[in-house]
Amino acid sequence: MIKVLLIEDDLMVQEVNKEFINRVDGFEIIGLAANGEEGMELIRTLSPDLVIVDLYMPVMDGLETLHQLRKEGHRVDVIAITAASEIDTVRQVFQHGAFDYIMKPFKFERMKQALENYLSFRKRLNDKGTISQRELDDILFLKDTDEPDDLPKGLNAVTLAKIITCLSKMDKPISAEEVAEVVGTARVTARRYLDYLEKRGKVKIDIQYGGIGRPMNRYILY
């Protein structure tokens, strides 16, 4: 069983998330905290495998909590669940080693997907004492997403996998510029990969009309 600590200040949301987690086999909630300060105390005493944390909290917010647990060297994995959608916040969460990022509001299926992906990740890493580069790439870049072996000239599998991973962690469509920010590539490069995925039927384009100027294409995985 994966030992889970849930850190969420809204008691109603905490109860909903608790119910969602309990519906997924292989996970056991061992502690609940209403803010990052309480969460850190429980991390120190309970040693959970996985922390599911909100970002907007009193006393100590989620980013401060992530910073503190890494500063103290805790070997615990993190899934962020938050209403924060700013690219800078998303980047900071992943820079602190989060496994997944779920945006509120979300449905049970998204939580289930995150937990099952994490369980698979843990099992595949624990199966062997050593791992090959190809096996590691399969885990890190979700290579079971039916990618072709032969990509068009100018595209490479690692960057494609990073973009697929980025999109898989988003609950709403994002622009090529936002994908580029998260992945760390040029916007025009991200656009090429997104157009390729759209042609393969992996990505859906959501055209959004704003003020003056051309409409903006935003992308989401099917």
pLDDT tens figures, 86-118: 889 998 999 898 999 999 888 898 899 899 888
Q: 64: pLDDT confidence band, cut at 50, 70 and 90?
A: very high
Could you tell me the CA-to-CA distances from 160 to 8, 16, 66, 194, 202 in Å, in that order?
34, 34, 28, 9, 12
pLDDT tens, position by position, 20-52: 999 999 999 999 999 999 999 999 999 999 999
Q: What is the arrangement of strands in the sheet containing 2-7, beginning at the earlier edge strand?
A: 27-33, 2-7, 50-53, 77-82, 100-103
Same domain, 19 and 118: yes
Its domain, for residue 217, covers: 130-221
pTM for the predicted model, two decimal places = 0.64
Angle between helices 62-71 and 87-95 (to 10 degrees): 20
CB atoms within 10 A of CB 65: 28
- Burial class of 95 by CB neighbour count within 10 A (0 to 12, 13 to 18, 19+): exposed
CATH number, domain of 208, equals: 1.10.10.10
Domain boundary among 125, 159, 175: 125
Helix (H, G, I), strand (E, B) or coil at 121: helix
pLDDT of 126 > 60? The answer is yes
Sign of dihedral through CA atoms 22, 83, 71, 178?
Answer: positive
Q: 147: pLDDT confidence band, cut at 50, 70 and 90?
A: very low
Same domain, 10 and 118: yes
- Per the structure, the count of domains in the chain is 2
Same domain, 110 and 141: no
| Structure confidence at residue 171 (pLDDT) | 81
